[in-house]
Amino acid sequence: MTKHDKSHKASIDTLCIHAGQAPDPVFGSVAPPIYQTSTFAFRSTDQGAARFAGSEPGYIYTRMGNPTIAMLEENVAALEGGVAALAAATGMAAVSTAFFALLSQGDHVVCSASVYGPSRVILERDFVRFGVSASFVDTSDLVELKRAFTPRTRLVFIETPANPTLAVTDLSAAAELAHAAGALLVVDNTFMSPILQRPFRFGADVVLHSVTKFLNGHSDVVGGILVFRDEALLKRVRPVLFYLGGTMDPHQAWLVLRGIKTLAMRVRAAQENARACAALLAGHPAVAEVRYPGLPGHPQAAVMARQMEGPGSLISFELKGGLPAGKRLLEGLKLAALAVSLGGVETLIQHPASMTHAAMRREDRLAAGITDGLVRLSVGCEGREDLLADLKQGLDALL
């Protein structure tokens, strides 16, 4: 459960609070210390040499490891059920590190078409320069997913539920296809967090998060993390992160550790609010379509029931008035902030086509289901009646 008690199989609620942490053995501090240092002193030249050689454990330089960051890594690895984790400066540092470490010239990637915009764009604009090709498909359609494989496919990158369409990919089936082709399955689990989905249970090889979102939960930190199924993958990726330099700062790590202590409570509270908001949207005359895994009739309801412990708190919807109506709604809400990001305690609303996914070509966005009128709502932990009243007044103003 913690560094001083691993014999008990704790619930995920308990792991959020205790995994990777124990009272400070020097002064007894219950909160983890922030080791805000760039470098660590050695007792002798022999010890310094041994640490650089890897024959003695210990810290050298914060880019290569730090006790506060290590606590966060152990905590998230425990939550996801992985063997170890590597914390990164941003979510995109985690994504980029995975691509740099696991891809080589001539390799091919199969990627969810509806995925966080920069995760797709870095493959399309940058990795193509190094001889890596990519196919972007609806990974919730297993026929389309299977058809996308080539003899050079080495990586399958899936975000499920997808950003922002909320299509759900069958992780077990995706893992089976990937492994049969000799490829690795990397899953971006940011939207669900380990509270609602643990991809290692379904065959994932690497799980990553933008810890900026649910794990931190307070819209005051950016960061990323990679979690590994086995030590071999960790050893393959760790030096790449260290040499690229996209590592986390100790104070970032401390803030995320503090946020994770309330992760389970926040995720469940926001999810219950989202269920109510989705029902309101689905029944409102100004709304043309609602995409939310918790609504009856979601196309991947059966998959969701197998691999998710709830539908989450992200909702995408289209208004009957299209983009003009969407702009009026985004600017007319009083409680929901017009801002990108998600997973914080506050409710945020944004327009993916002109904001988070603006770098994608319009034809690619439309093919991925990211229409010009799509609105994404990240429901927070405010009072439910307050959220519903704000959403209703904004929608009513469109009639």
Q: Which residues are catalytic?
A: 63, 116, 188, 213
Instruction: Quickly tell me which residue has 């290569």 as its tokens.
Output: 64
Query: What are 112's two structure tokens?
Result: 């969810």
Please check the confidence at residue 26 and state whether its pLDDT lies above 60: yes
Least confident of 106-110, 337-341, 361-365: 361-365
pLDDT at position 51: 96
Type of residue found at 161: P
Whole-angstrom distance, CA of residue 140 vs CA of residue 368: 11
Residue 129 neighbours by CB distance under 10 Å: 7
Mapped to the 3 state alphabet, what secondary structure does the chain carry?
A: CECCECCCCCCHHHHHHHCCCCCCCCCCCCCCCCCCCCECCCCCHHHHHHHHHCCCCCCCEHHHCCHHHHHHHHHHHHHHCCCEEEEECCHHHHHHHHHHHHCCCCCEEEEECCCCHHHHHHHHHHHHHHCCEEEEECCCCHHHHHHCCCCCEEEEEEECCCCCCCCCCCHHHHHHHHHHCCCEEEEECCCCHHHHCCHHHHCCCEEEEECCCCCCCCCCCCCEEEEECCHHHHHHHHHHHHHHCCECCHHHHHHHHHHHCCHHHHHHHHHHHHHHHHHHHHCCCCEEEEECCCCCCCCCHHHHHHHCCCCCCEEEEEECCHHHHHHHHHHHCCCCEECCCCCCCCCEEECHHHCCCCCCCHHHHHHCCCCCCEEEEECCCCCHHHHHHHHHHHHHCCC
What number is the average pLDDT over the span 125-150? Answer: 97
Please check the confidence at residue 2 and state whether its pLDDT lies above 80: no
Q: Are 36 and 53 in contact (CB under 8 A)?
A: no
Give me the residues paired with residue 287 across strands: 319
Residue 331 neighbours by CB distance under 10 Å: 10
What number is the average pLDDT over the span 321-345? Answer: 92
Peptide bond into 194 cis (omega under 30): no
Least confident of 114-123, 181-190, 278-287, 353-362: 353-362
End-to-end Cα, the chain, rounded Å: 54
Which residues make up the CATH 3.90.1150.10 domain(s) of the chain? 265-396
Q: Are 275 and 311 in contact (CB under 8 A)?
A: yes
Identify the band that residue 147 occupies on the pLDDT scale cut at 50, 70 and 90.
very high
Q: Are 165 and 289 in contact (CB under 8 A)?
A: no
Whole-angstrom CA distances from 100 to 77, 87, 126, 358 are 21, 16, 11, 24
pLDDT in tens, 297-312: 899 999 999 999 999 9
What number is the average pLDDT over the span 218-226? Answer: 97
Give me the residues paired with residue 2 across strands: 5
Whole-angstrom distance, CA of residue 3 vs CA of residue 336: 40
Closest Cα partner for 218 from 169, 258, 275? 258
Instruction: Quickly tell me which residue has 């330099």 as its tokens.
Output: 245
Q: What is the domain class of 265-396 according to CATH? A: alpha beta
Whole-angstrom distance, CA of residue 228 vs CA of residue 83: 6
Residue 9 neighbours by CB distance under 10 Å: 8
What topology is assigned to 12-260 in CATH? Aspartate Aminotransferase; domain 2 (3.40.640)
pLDDT in tens, 58-81: 999 999 999 999 999 999 999 999
Please check the confidence at residue 94 and state whether its pLDDT lies above 80: yes
Identify the band that residue 363 occupies on the pLDDT scale cut at 50, 70 and 90.
confident
Please check the confidence at residue 5 and state whether its pLDDT lies above 60: no
Q: What is the mean pLDDT of the chain?
A: 94
pLDDT at position 357: 81
Residue 230: partners with Cβ closer than 8 Å, 6 or more residues away: 83, 205
Q: Are 73 and 84 in contact (CB under 8 A)?
A: yes
Which residues make up the CATH 3.40.640.10 domain(s) of the chain? 12-260
What number is the average pLDDT over the span 42-62? Answer: 96
